[in-house]
Structure 1
Amino acid sequence: MTGVIEQKLTAQGIVLPEPASPVANYVGFVRTGNLLVVSGQLCFDGDGKLIAKGKLGAGVSIEDGNAAARGCAINLLAQLKAALGDLDKVVRVVRLGGFINSTPDFTDGPKVMNGASDLMVAAFGDKGRHARTTIGVASLPADAAVEVEGLFEVA
């Protein structure tokens, strides 16, 4: 039987994929006490394809970037599920950090990151409201448009 959070996700048509394996010398998540840090997740869909590739401000629309950030958040949730076994053990989404592959003059990164933030609030309600940083970067692995990392308080 799935928990309340997974039922909410299922009602929204969200199926959590198998979490991605690290591609370098790091782990997908680290727990210390009641904090769980999840490594940056790229915007891969359930089939392993990038939701958006390239730069915001040079061919990738804000809408596509927003969808990519949402995809990153789904991948964060998949890592959380692997770490905890049950998303209902998340006490609070503490912080999201977003990296937007963008041109130097692109200033709408916060609109892109709303894709991830909105999903956390939809899944966890008020416990999903979090601090956030959005940073424009020159490039990301695989030329992904967005990468998102997270910090969670867990039971």
Structure 2
Amino acid sequence: MSGQIDSRLAELGIDVPQAAAPVANYVGWVRTGNLVVISGQLPLKDGKVTTTGLLGRDVSVEDAAVAARQSGINIIAQLRAACGGDLDKVVRIVRLGGFVACTPDFTDHPKVINGASDLMVDVFGDAGRHARAAVGCPSLPLNAAVEVDALVEIRD
């Protein structure tokens, strides 16, 4: 299915993969009413984590922002599945939750998660503007540097 959002993705040169299957006892997304909750997405590309380690020690802010963008692309993959393939059903990206694996003294979490936030605005325009949290944590699954989850409003 090709609509406005798919055209925008092509214009931006973004290839959205198939939604990744969960690796534990959860699902990639849940719809309740017109809201879709998308499970945390790692910066996976071709089945591998693109960026590992801790910010403030192993990973630069710039590299982590690219990883957050990849997590955002994976959010869009889950969202496409939740919308039956039609991303034009997206009304609003309501909220992103960003997790940054980092040292205790690291404080640039917002700059990292901007990689995902900027992607949502680039793809969905004003509907991509969202509320957000950007927090630090001591570790993430598979030693990923970032993880991002989402809450999205869609239409039938």
What range is the shorter-chain TM-score in?
over 0.9
**Deviation (angstroms), 1:38:** 0.3
Counterparts in 2 of 1:55-134, with a 5 A limit?
A: 55-84=54-83, 85-134=85-134
- Supply the RMSD in Å over aligned alpha carbons: 0.7
**Structure 1: gaps of 5 or more residues:** none
What per-residue deviation string (whole Å, max 9, x for no partner) do you get for residues 90-140 of structure 1? 000000000001011100010000000000000011110000001101100
Moved over 6 A (4+): none
Counterparts in 2 of 1:8-27, with a 5 A limit?
A: 8-27=8-27
* SS of alignment partner, residue 70 of structure 2: helix
Structure 2 length-normalised TM: 0.97
**Structure 2: gaps of 5 or more residues:** none
Counterparts in 2 of 1:43-58, with a 5 A limit?
A: 43-45=43-45, 47-58=46-57
Distance in structure 2 (CA, Å) of the matches to 1:48 and 1:6: 23
Distance in structure 2 (CA, Å) of the matches to 1:54 and 1:111: 17
Q: How many residues are matched?
A: 154
Distance in structure 2 (CA, Å) of the matches to 1:86 and 1:118: 21
